[in-house]
Amino acid sequence: MYYFDPHIHMVSRTTDDYETLAKMGCVGMSEPAFWAGFDRGSVESFRDYFRQLTEFEPSRAAQYGIQHYTWLCINAKEAENVELSREVIKMIPEFLDKPNVLGIGEIGLNKNTKNESTIFLEHMELAIQYNQQILIHTPHLEDKYQGTRMILDMLTGDSRIDPTRVLVDHVEEHTAKEVLDRGFWAGMTLYPVTKCTPQRAADIIELCGAERLLVNSAGDWGPSKPTAVPDLILELRRRGHSEALIRKVVYDNPIEFFSQSQNFSFTSPQ
């Protein structure tokens, strides 16, 4: 089955991973900007990073028949440096017309601090000003429930935000329903350590239905599994779900969501 991984950090993966993903049916992916594992020191580091996301990764992916898209921002982990964050936000419009840019992301909260909220709102303003879609990172573990509520309140508190153009990622059992009920799209992240297992993601699909629900591997430089989406496909088949339902979650839904971005010009291999 063909699938689309809507959240994967290929800058930290090898070319062998692209080959493996292609062999497993991955035909498209979207890569949000994220933390490098260490704090970057200047706006120039981000300019180079955004060139990597908009020039180098799409050509590396294309060698394996994978269409690569991306999202731009400064990650919440670096938002405590408000001055640098503002310089990066000011520079982002230089890249918004690049052909693989889908919007602003992954923006969100990490430890739910005041500076993180400030920078989140400034990213939101940028997205509104340039009519961009938004991809949201929700915090981990003990900070997730409160952080998700704070993020949803900031988004719904601004009537200019259209929830159908926002994807809220890393949802789990205790946050998925509220995200969907408030009109947003929701993404589940399959991680070997924290976040969802394929079994828990299958449970959430059975609980919430497949409308506006996406699944990703969030493969990055930490313990993660870039081929986690095929694991979920297998789990759903094992439970007797139809091919149509599986395809909706791993292929049709991401394409429907991304199609709201002006730069999304995906060509289906079928």
**172 vs 236, beta carbon nearer Zn ion:** 172
Number of helices and strands (H, E) in the chain?
11, 8
**34 vs 185, beta carbon nearer Zn ion:** 34
Shortest CB 9 distance to Zn ion, Å: 6
**Dihedral (CA of 203, 133, 104, 109) sign:** negative
The number of beta carbons lying within 10 Å of the beta carbon of residue 177 is: 14
Shortest CB 234 distance to Zn ion, Å: 23
List Cβ neighbours of 159 (8 Å cut-off, separation of 6 or more).
none
Shortest CB 169 distance to Zn ion, Å: 7
Residue number of the CB closest to Zn ion reads 34
Contact residues toward Zn ion (CB under 5 A) are 34, 218
**34 vs 264, beta carbon nearer Zn ion:** 34
**7 vs 212, beta carbon nearer Zn ion:** 7
In three-state secondary structure terms, 134 is strand
The Cα–Cα gap between 130 and 125 comes to: 9
Shortest CB 232 distance to Zn ion, Å: 17
Cis amide leading into 106 (omega within 30): yes
